[in-house]
Structure 1
Amino acid sequence: MNAPIIDPLQGDFPEVIEEYLEHGVMKCIAFNRRGTLLAAGCADGSCIIWDFETRGIAKELHDKDCVAAITSVCWSKDGHCILVSAADKSLTLWDVVSGEKITRTTLQQTPLQARLHPGSAKSLCLACPLSSAPMIVDLNTGSTTVLPVSVSDTGAGLPPPSRNKFSDGSPPFTPTAACFNKYGDLVYVGNSKGEILIVDHKNKQVRAVVPISGGSVIKNIVFSRNGQYLLTNSNDRTIRIYENLLPLKDGLKVLDELSTSCDEVDEAEKLKAVGSKCLALFREFQDSITKIHWKVPCFSGDGEWVVGGSASKGEHKIYIWDRAGHLVKILEGPKEALIDLAWHPVHPIVVSVSLTGLVYIWAKDYTENWSAFAPDFKELEENEEYIEREDEFDLMPETEKVKDTDVNEDDEVDIMTVENESVFSDSDMSQEELCFLPAVPCPDVPEQQDKCVGSTSKLTDSNHSGSPLSEEAGQNGQAMNHASSPVEEDTGGTRLKRKRKPSEKGMELQAEKVRKPLKTMKSSGKISKIKNKPVLEQDTDSYVFADDVTDEYH
């Protein structure tokens, strides 16, 4: 699509379903950093990698030891590895290029979500289990470090008691959301008390606390791509956006300075005071009419749009707001529940997963601005007769040539240097990224031949009307198949025969037999059936073919 012919006043958000992907029952999706590959976890334990440009399957990762449904997929920053969490409590790290399993770790609880460290440490990941606190997992050794989920757990850093309750007697433990910041030196944890904890995962210490109004359970927490905004989804049916006041790098040093300068004596109040200087509430999003819950919220690739997927059963609705808080679009899909979605890192494309396992691709419905082709282009409301100029089609003399341009043809053109894209502000990686994989062609599935199932009368009617040729049955009274009839039913109505092509000799005999006319007689007192239709013999001059006559006596 040419950018100059696109209306600039149109919003950069998707509007219609452009296509859908189908392969098994897919449960979760994730784009790589460039948006060229899409990974999808399936219900049978496999991970499918789609080439998003060609919509073809580039790789299929399947572990014979894993047959449980995939709960989350996560790409490494360079795109060479994929972390897959499954319902059988396993974490598997895959090499994308070779398709081989690097390592596999089994946890004590089912991980609902797992995220690789955004830095160069591919062996570290953050896992959020079903009924325990978030933990840092070393994939090489299998060791786990449980993170604190409340201020009371700061010193010990231990998991909650065995009865799924906090040590301070709070309500039973619920799944906790957590995510790394942009460079992975801090972990932001959202707990069931409605608090955002900023945790130093190396020392297992809570460095700041940000309370949320209402104190509802935080179900999702995610950073924008540039790390400047934090999004939370709570049980009070509200999506909140916080502005990150900490620097993207060396956030721990700033936290130490803030903690030292704070004059609060009480430890809890001190952490809240530090938290107020780390995150600032920017905007709240909710549907004030229907008050629906949100299943999966996320940012757009540039952070300008906020997306929320409806959690209502049987609804596939996607709400899109601008960062100022205005609802700009509601995308309504098929009558299938939405379970996961992701925004393309570069383009205005949203990919959503339905409960049936299909992946829908939402794209923008572009309207071309044809007047942008040339300055003298004119759009006509209706057809007009064109009157040519007098010299419009005159031959121009060869002496008149195009004016010379100011371009110096001797200058060397650099076609090797690749400029960093503005979308990727941190494109300073020393290791080459994996952007594309060769697509694997899928063989066509031969269509099964439809079987004709019907009553005896319907088959008989279709056979007589479809072909002028027929043969009488032998001793059993069974009819042969016609050339245009796929199946034929025998006299007992219990067996179907496939069509059989007659031989050349049989066709010649059949043609000679058909050509012989038979003159019917009025005095015979018989009724003839022509093509299964009874006709009274009243016209002595009428002729019928011998094959079409069946005599019946009164």
Structure 2
Amino acid sequence: MNAQLLNPFTIDIPDSVSSTLSTAECSTLLFNHGSSILSGQYLAVGRSDGYITIWDIETKSVLRLLAGHVRPVTGLAWSRYNRYLASCSGDWNVVVWDLAAKSQAASGLRKAAGREGDVVNTDETDPRLPFESERKTTIRFDCAVSSVQFAPASSGWLVVVLASQEAYLVDIRDKVRLGKTRGENGKVQVKDVECSPRRILLSSAAAAQVINSEATQAQDEAEEPTPAASSTPGITAARFTPDSRFIVAGTSKGSLLIFDAVTGDVLDELKVLSTTSGVKELAFDSTGKFLVVNCNDRALRILSVHTTSSTTSHHNDRPAKRLRTSLSLTLLHKIQDMIQRTAWNNIGFSPSSDYIFAGAAHKASHNVYIWDRTSSTLSKILEGPKDWSIGVDWHPSRPMLASASNTGAIYVWFTPTEEIWSAYAPGFEELEENMEYEEREDEFDFIDGKGESERLRQEEEEAAYVRICDADTAGRDNTRQTGASVAWGKVSAILAVNNDEQEGREWITLKKLFATRLDQVSTDFSWNPKADGEAGEETWIECTLLDDDDCDRFVIPPRLELDFSVFHDDHL
């Protein structure tokens, strides 16, 4: 819908239930928040039977059915441009799905989902429908997984929180290995690197060690020992900041830990919540300036977020080692139900960050509470059926909200918007009722030569249009090309490719394939004797590839061979 046609004075809060998906069997749900032009078009639904369905909000129809879990789905995460979807479950697995995979000829052709994409009965395969596996990778942990999130700037990084109160930063970026034999006729070889995802433990014990070391330095002159921590709190929730620079994690003792989003190093521990109750959930607004925290004491806390820079040594008599950038959090408001002592679940912000929403964890009602962020006053209560709420999410750009009940049904809350066409066309006249239009005798007559001149004038006007993109997108594309060219130049230098070889067909073809996708050279194995025992030396380098989730116009292709009508009902 064109934003110019909307009434700017309407309240952007959902009002009532506009549609119901009663056959969804939902256990968790999530809109596709991100930078895509189709942001909010899809709703991912994790089911209690382990399946995942992707719904189109406009048509209220199922686009994909993903099967990869044997226990109820506990969490979902979209990548920046909707190509990848991550899901976690009580079966100890995190699965990353590639939604760009196209249709297959018929069901039953896939023998095993995974990178291999094995196919049986290839004689029955329709060549017009190329086979691709939807499952990109599977990450298995030692216990049930509570939540998962993609880094907002890259689909190659995940933060995962386990039910055992452990958190991991997972690197799932694709890698490729390039090699060359020393000599005049040495050819460049390419090998795919089938490596397991790299896991970095986000440890709260490291934060305790950092704080104890700083306290020990401050008390060196007094020679007073620092008491050790009695027990290390576990991490119960973790989220990336919207700029993907930091990870904020909540602990079981009510403190917030700040981690570096690349190395996983702990930067700071903040005790700004004024409570010892454990943190249940964290949620940032779209700008990253505000944070809402849900704790076990049945209270919501709103914090402001600022970036700070400090040195590793806080003492004037000691030289500073290096500059450290971290986050500063300030408590603004505390929200709680003083009368009924209601607990909350699935917190978040509205698209404009003016409101905060939370589902009431009450088994006698299905209510969604909405507060004003600046004053922390209650703005509205969305009252649903008697089923209690287990999941809530707000549309990223519209006054629309989706909530899930314990019965598996999904309720879509929406405020009908009245379009003001006079704001778009000043000469437009709104009619109270239909009127029969009487046309002139020559109004629709074709005049020779007039159509050609009109076409030329329209082409001239369209040629004058300039596509305007935001500074963030333009800077990201420029940085991507510059970094790739630097990485490719480093590759040619390490492999000792001379000028004649660079002009050859093999090197030119290789450059077309990888020159724009190389992110960095992660490993250099230098020149060593050949592994197969032959005479000569060879060298190999391992390169990390750039994120391929880079199309802001990505549309999920439909599955032509499957019928999803069984998931639809008559309550839409």
8 Å Cα contact 1:210/1:279 also seen in 2:
no
The answer to whether structure 1 residue 238 and structure 2 residue 299 are counterparts is yes
CA distance in 2: counterparts of 1:48 and 1:23, whole angstroms: 11
Partner of 2:242: 182
1:323 to 333, 352, 373: 373
8 Å Cα contact 1:15/1:331 also seen in 2:
yes
8 Å Cα contact 2:79/2:155 also seen in 1:
no
The answer to whether structure 1 residue 304 and structure 2 residue 354 are counterparts is yes
CA distance in 2: counterparts of 1:357 and 1:286, whole angstroms: 27
By relative contact order (CA 8 Å, sep 6+), the higher-ranking structure is 2
Partner of 1:496: none
Q: TM-score, normalised by structure 1?
A: 0.63
CA distance in 1: counterparts of 2:295 and 2:282, whole angstroms: 9
1:200 to 247, 260, 264: 260
CA distance in 2: counterparts of 1:432 and 1:419, whole angstroms: 16
Partner of 1:169: 230
The answer to whether structure 1 residue 337 and structure 2 residue 371 are counterparts is no
The 5-angstrom pairing of residues 207-286 of structure 1 reads: 207-246=268-307, 254-255=308-309, 258-260=310-312, 262-263=314-315, 278-286=328-336
The C-alpha deviation readout for 1:351-401, integer Å capped at 9, x for no partner, is 111111111111014467899898998999xxxxxxxxxxxx9x99x9xxx
Question: 1:44 aligns to what SS in structure 2?
Answer: coil
**Cα pair distance change 1:80/1:203, threshold 3 Å:** closer
8 Å Cα contact 2:302/2:334 also seen in 1:
yes
The C-alpha deviation readout for 1:301-337, integer Å capped at 9, x for no partner, is 2212110110111321101112222211100111111
8 Å Cα contact 2:42/2:56 also seen in 1:
yes
The answer to whether structure 1 residue 110 and structure 2 residue 141 are counterparts is no
What letter is aligned with 1:300?
Answer: S
CA distance in 2: counterparts of 1:274 and 1:88, whole angstroms: 37
The 5-angstrom pairing of residues 338-487 of structure 1 reads: 338-366=389-417, 411-413=460-462, 419-420=468-469, 431-433=550-552, 434-438=554-558, 442=563
What letter is aligned with 1:187?
Answer: I
The answer to whether structure 1 residue 145 and structure 2 residue 200 are counterparts is yes
CA distance in 2: counterparts of 1:425 and 1:215, whole angstroms: 42
**Cα pair distance change 1:311/1:213, threshold 3 Å:** same
Partner of 1:87: 90
The C-alpha deviation readout for 1:512-534, integer Å capped at 9, x for no partner, is xxxxxxxxxxxxxxxxxxxxxxx
**How far has the Cα of 1:37 moved from its partner?**
1.2
The structure richer in strand per residue is 2
Partner of 2:535: none
**Structure 2 unmatched runs, 5+:** 102-132, 173-194, 213-227, 319-323, 433-437, 444-456, 481-549, 567-572
2:46 to 41, 64, 88: 41
CA distance in 2: counterparts of 1:205 and 1:230, whole angstroms: 19
What letter is aligned with 1:95?
Answer: D
CA distance in 2: counterparts of 1:130 and 1:264, whole angstroms: 43
The C-alpha deviation readout for 1:408-440, integer Å capped at 9, x for no partner, is 978522598654589x98995672132444376
What letter is aligned with 1:73?
Answer: L
Question: 2:9 aligns to what SS in structure 1?
Answer: coil
CA distance in 1: counterparts of 2:333 and 2:317, whole angstroms: 31
8 Å Cα contact 2:235/2:250 also seen in 1:
no
**How far has the Cα of 1:285 moved from its partner?**
2.3
CA distance in 1: counterparts of 2:62 and 2:159, whole angstroms: 28
CA distance in 1: counterparts of 2:366 and 2:462, whole angstroms: 50
Partner of 1:61: 66
8 Å Cα contact 1:147/1:204 also seen in 2:
yes
The 5-angstrom pairing of residues 465-544 of structure 1 reads: none
The C-alpha deviation readout for 1:260-284, integer Å capped at 9, x for no partner, is 5744999xxxxxx998x71122222
Partner of 2:25: 25
8 Å Cα contact 2:83/2:556 also seen in 1:
no
What letter is aligned with 1:351?
Answer: A
CA distance in 2: counterparts of 1:2 and 1:121, whole angstroms: 30
CA distance in 2: counterparts of 1:264 and 1:108, whole angstroms: 46
**How far has the Cα of 1:138 moved from its partner?**
3.2
The C-alpha deviation readout for 1:163-203, integer Å capped at 9, x for no partner, is xxxx8334x96661111112322111111221111122515
**Cα pair distance change 1:41/1:153, threshold 3 Å:** farther
8 Å Cα contact 1:194/1:214 also seen in 2:
yes
CA distance in 2: counterparts of 1:278 and 1:146, whole angstroms: 23
**How far has the Cα of 1:60 moved from its partner?**
1.1
**Cα pair distance change 1:289/1:274, threshold 3 Å:** farther
Rg larger for: 1
Question: 2:339 aligns to what SS in structure 1?
Answer: coil
CA distance in 2: counterparts of 1:237 and 1:366, whole angstroms: 34
CA distance in 2: counterparts of 1:415 and 1:43, whole angstroms: 53
CA distance in 2: counterparts of 1:91 and 1:188, whole angstroms: 20
The C-alpha deviation readout for 1:446-477, integer Å capped at 9, x for no partner, is xxxxxxxxxxxxxxxxxxxxxxxxxxxxxxxx
Question: 1:345 aligns to what SS in structure 2?
Answer: coil
8 Å Cα contact 2:204/2:233 also seen in 1:
no
Question: 2:257 aligns to what SS in structure 1?
Answer: strand
Partner of 1:126: 159
Question: 1:278 aligns to what SS in structure 2?
Answer: strand
Aligned length: 400
CA distance in 2: counterparts of 1:427 and 1:332, whole angstroms: 45
CA distance in 2: counterparts of 1:421 and 1:274, whole angstroms: 26
Question: 2:461 aligns to what SS in structure 1?
Answer: coil
**Structure 1 unmatched runs, 5+:** 157-166, 247-253, 267-272, 381-392, 399-407, 446-554
What letter is aligned with 1:204?
Answer: D
8 Å Cα contact 1:137/1:144 also seen in 2:
yes
Question: 1:292 aligns to what SS in structure 2?
Answer: coil
**How far has the Cα of 1:342 moved from its partner?**
0.9
Question: 1:152 aligns to what SS in structure 2?
Answer: helix
8 Å Cα contact 1:109/1:132 also seen in 2:
no
Question: 1:176 aligns to what SS in structure 2?
Answer: strand
CA distance in 1: counterparts of 2:10 and 2:162, whole angstroms: 42
